[in-house]
Chain A
Amino acid sequence: MNDGSVKNPGIEFWDAVRGHEGAETGQVRSQVTSIDSTTLINPMGEEWRLYRMDMLIPTAAIVLGLTLLAIVLFRLIRGEIKIQGGYSGQKIKRFSTFQRYVHWTTAILFIVLALTGVILLFGRYIVIPVFGAEIGGTLTWLCKRTHDFAGPAFGVALLVMIITFIKGNMPSRIDLQWLLKGGGLFGKHASAGRYNAGEKAWYWTIALAGTLVVLSGLVLDFPNFDQGRNTMMYSHWVHSIGAVILIAFAMGHIYMGTIAMQGAFEAMQTGYCDSNWAKEHHDLWYADMQEAGKIDEPTNEPAGTLQLADNKS
């Protein structure tokens, strides 16, 4: 409606400067030809600042803190998960040498990336106050560089790992029952094949979120392809959320694979697992192995007497 008032002649111009929707900018040019050099004001920057400072950093701290707390609580309540039948001394081949190499390459790169990434995220509040700007800056710089170089290597390792471990990680009906029983965490026995639903969930998380994190990371890692700020912001958005999810999951995985459960670590360490461990945690896989004759001396003795079998083989 025309109320006869005179429009501020500056409105159209500042709409164009701010890049408001519907503003007529015509041809925008600059003698300086660098990334986004013709964008005078990019309002997305402020959105990203709010995301990083007010959302990402506190949320990541809460998520990772709660994960750690849950692990500690679980340890205090449940304690170490022992092999109930004790070590049988009878070994079953669980992982090939190649699988173990792939696992550990990916794992080491992941830990390096997670630690350096966490320092990039929280370093301002931890590293700089502790070490001061001079040393803290250099440390963070080293972390950033390490992150940059380890990233693409992790991408390759991840791809090989996804292919290597896909066998046995396809979801099945048993997984639902396993999940309904809480994975046997609370005492009840839950049947599982070669991998249980928890391991499968971890596999698919690292396969999907890991791929997203690697792809978005590559966008951030190579600024020389002239991608604009907004592309990088979206990438950082994907990268940071995916990374926090992966780190939280990895904390659980590392705990379960090392000190949580008797007999779990040696499977990835030596490639062989104890038959009693397999029987208790992967009973269906154990049965399959037995059927296929992959176990040297199949035994039907009750679990309690297996302790005596230690020096049999």
Chain B
Amino acid sequence: MARMKFYCDSERCIECNGCVTACKNANEVPWGINRRRVVTIKDGQPGERSISVACMHCSDAPCQAVCPVNCFVTTPDGIVLHNKDTCIGCGYCFYACPFGAPQFPTDGAFSSRGKMDKCTFCAGGPEEADNSPEEFRKYGSNRIAEGKLPLCAEMCSTKALLAGDASVVSDIYRQRVVNRAASALLGGSGLQQTGFQPSVAGTGVTSVPPESGKATAEPTGMPADDVPPSTQVPAPLQ
């Protein structure tokens, strides 16, 4: 069974906030609530990096552990969803979450917290019929039910933000790391001459033409263009 994960490649993120905008638009998130945010470290300095962060859909989710009404559900796909009918707005998930994913609209007197809102991996709510108006009103869109991945990752202009089955996401990222290391070692120009091919155990891309790499990535809607052009030269020298 797939385990859905996000990964943000900090070497690629350009802090365009496209994911934030896409998320707000796709899910019609209330004003003042952001399910996703981009954080820039060392802003304006050498070594500046940006990361887009939202609910990471933890396998052992702290929010789920501390909830006094047990309103969280992990779907078979590994997506952490919460039931807004059961949620009491206590804020415990907000304390426990390391990523600051849970968000709270203010509700009524005393500015009490309303029902918690967080990223659903574009999978809607845990109970309502898929893509019903009721589900959309409470949780936003359910792209997973339509066979699509979260809009933030789908729209990412540099493909920094990856979403999908954890093994596919990690394969893509591993491939990028290997390519970057090779590129750095060879000064960025030697790849074609050596016929370098990323060789990563278990990814299905070891010394095979890039087409099969494409086949691995396609079912989850992943871009297949992660292999730099230099490595796509078909004839290895050996």
A: residues with CB less than 8 A from B are 12-13, 16-17, 24-32, 34-43, 45-46, 48-49, 52-53, 120-121, 123-124, 127-128, 133-134, 136-137, 140-141, 144-145, 148-149, 220-224, 229, 232-233, 236
Contacts and interface: CB of A to CB of B under 8 A. Distances in A.
B70 A133 contact: yes
Contact of B37 (A32, A145, A233): A32
Main secondary structure of the interface of A (DSSP, over half): helix
A238 to B, nearest CB: 14
Contact of A144 (B38, B89, B106): B89
A124 B44 contact: no
A137 B86 contact: yes
A26 B95 contact: no
Nearest to A30: B39
Given A34-B34, A133-B86, A39 B62 contact: no
Main secondary structure of the interface of B (DSSP, over half): loop
Contacts of B83: 133, 137
Interface string B104-117: 10100011110000
B236 to A, nearest CB: 27
B92 interface: yes
B40 A42 contact: no
Nearest to B86: A137
B10 interface: yes
The size bracket of the interface on B is: 35 or more
Given A48-B96, A137-B71, A25 B86 contact: no
A63 B85 CA distance: 33
Contacts of A46: 62, 96, 98
Contacts, number: 147
A25 B62 contact: no
B37 A37 contact: yes
B87 A137 contact: yes
Interface stretch (B47-55, B191-199, B208-216): B47-55
B238 interface: no
A27 B67 CA distance: 34
A48 B89 contact: no
Given A134-B86, A140-B68, A29 B110 contact: no
Contact of A17 (B17, B45, B51, B96): B51
7 contacts: A28-B43, A31-B37, A42-B98, A136-B86, A137-B88, A141-B69, A221-B110
Contact of A229 (B38, B95, B106, B112): B95
A53 B93 CA distance: 13
A41 B111 contact: no
B182 interface: no
Nearest to A221: B110
Given A13-B49, A30-B38, A32-B34, A222 B110 contact: yes
Contacts of A134: 85-86
A30 to B, nearest CB: 5
Contact of B69 (A42, A53, A137, A223): A137
Contacts of B106: 224
B47 A45 contact: no
Contact of A123 (B20, B51, B68): B68
